[in-house]
Structure 1
Amino acid sequence: MSPSTEPLPPAMPAVVPGRPYTHEMVIVHRVFRRESALLPRLVGAVPAGDTERARAVTEHVEEYAYGLHHHHHLEDELIWPLLRTRAGAQDDLVHRMTRQHASIDATLERIQPVLTDWRDSADQGTARTLADLLEEHRDALSEHLDDEERLLLPLVAEHLTVAEWDLVGRRGLEALPKNKVLLALGAILEDATDEERAWFLGRVPLAGRLLWRFAGRRQYQARCRTLRGTPETD
């Protein structure tokens, strides 16, 4: 059997003692990148008139939008004000992040009424309009995530404390309904490398790791089968 020609995934950046480990944000961003790319395809695959399937996809779109909105709200509340105070020379970058958040919110606002109409009708013309709006949203989000990872996360690592950074993750977890925690973990682990999975799971309490192993993995795979037709994580 010949060696694989697939490039090896990049190694995780090293943890720097006393500095926020911002690579975890990159891993979380992959969830939003993947789902924002998937949503237009899910909408387009719903047969005309199949309102039961349209309702299931609509629920997923709304859960995605809620998760993204909350993610950005935490940044607006817990990260950008600290950077404005401590990295004043980079204030234009912080303003760029807030403007991009507003633009992304605007795309989601345009999506919502069309999504509601499509949920109740599963009309193909409405589906095409909705898919176009979701693509527009994805474009705005991708630009923002690229900028944030390239320009802002280095400032976070330099100017925030570990405790301040950890608060962002803790508040994000606290906002999740209890019955969505394992699904969220599965979404994070799906595109993670083996090294990243080990790191993330190592931060989960033992009881949570056992729950993931014996129930959460199957729950997430079932969710993927329902939405996409195939399991997406092992």
Structure 2
Amino acid sequence: MSPSFSALPSGHQTMLLAHRAMVTDLARITKAASRLAETPDPARAAALSSYIDRVHALIVHHHEGEDEFLWPRLRSLGGDENAIALLTAEHHELDKFLVEWNRLAGQLRTDNSVAAELARVTMDLDERLVAHAGDEEAELTDRLAPVLDKAVWKDFEKHMRTTAPLWTLRFMPAWLLMVAAPDELGGIPALPIARLFHGWLARVQSAALD
């Protein structure tokens, strides 16, 4: 049986919330792009394009942190090679869709005709990311669990903090708070900052997604 959320190391909790935030946003972005395809709105298109740029950067940073730090660390500790190879391969496949997704989002600023294609690509990316997140979460509590301990998670948290773009320091905590249940706040880094910028992020999301 998998451990409860609150029993997991804080870095593991943060990862689960990040996965949830990603797929929650992708579903909302799909709907927003579909609405733009039906009813063009230059201001909404610009806001959505900017928001996608941020979410894209967060997903890429998340995957880079795993590929460049977490998987090599687990491999050095004797982690299951098949599990690591599976998750690495899924990242490579997702990268192709992330590049196309971000390209279309950039075009949306000046060409609303790409909105329908953006909605389709976002839906496809959402399905693939849901599947990948499921695989990753299962492997972390199964084949990779023997080499995952609090020290690894703490080092991973530090790596993610030190490599994150500065703008994420106010965006990321609030982004996680948006999807966290009341008993999941332990997974939110810098919780006071998350609460401080919660309203700001809600306004940014409303301009882009609602």
Same fold (TM over 0.5): yes
Whichever of the two has the greater Rg, that structure is: 1
How many residues are treated as equivalent by the alignment?
A: 207
CA contact (8 A) 1:100 1:144 kept: yes
Unaligned runs of 5+ in 2: none
The C-alpha deviation readout for 1:75-120, integer Å capped at 9, x for no partner, is 01111112223335x2111111111001110001222333333321
| 1:219 paired to 2:200 | yes
The CA RMSD over aligned residues, in Å, is 2.6
Partner of 1:110: 100
| 1:51 paired to 2:42 | yes
Paired with 2:19 and 2:40, the residues of 1 have a C-alpha distance of 34
Unaligned runs of 5+ in 1: 1-9, 230-234
SS at match of 2:5: coil
Question: 2:48 corresponds to which letter in structure 1?
Answer: V
Paired with 1:219 and 1:141, the residues of 2 have a C-alpha distance of 27
Paired with 1:33 and 1:195, the residues of 2 have a C-alpha distance of 20
Question: 1:227 corresponds to which letter in structure 2?
Answer: A
Which structure's relative contact order is higher, taking Cα pairs within 8 Å and 6+ residues apart? 2
Question: 1:188 corresponds to which letter in structure 2?
Answer: L
Partner of 1:14: 7
Q: 1:25 to 1:115 in 2, by over 3 A?
A: closer
Paired with 1:57 and 1:92, the residues of 2 have a C-alpha distance of 38
CA contact (8 A) 1:20 1:161 kept: no
Partner of 1:143: 131
Paired with 1:27 and 1:212, the residues of 2 have a C-alpha distance of 13
CA contact (8 A) 2:34 2:116 kept: yes
Paired with 2:137 and 2:119, the residues of 1 have a C-alpha distance of 26
Q: 1:21 to 1:62 in 2, by over 3 A?
A: closer
How many percent of aligned residue pairs carry the same amino acid?
Answer: 21
CA contact (8 A) 1:20 1:157 kept: no
The C-alpha deviation readout for 1:117-152, integer Å capped at 9, x for no partner, is 3321212xx211111111111111111100000123
Question: 2:64 corresponds to which letter in structure 1?
Answer: H
Question: 2:117 corresponds to which letter in structure 1?
Answer: T
The equivalences for 1:170-209 within 5 A come to 170-197=158-185, 199-200=186-187, 204=190, 209=192
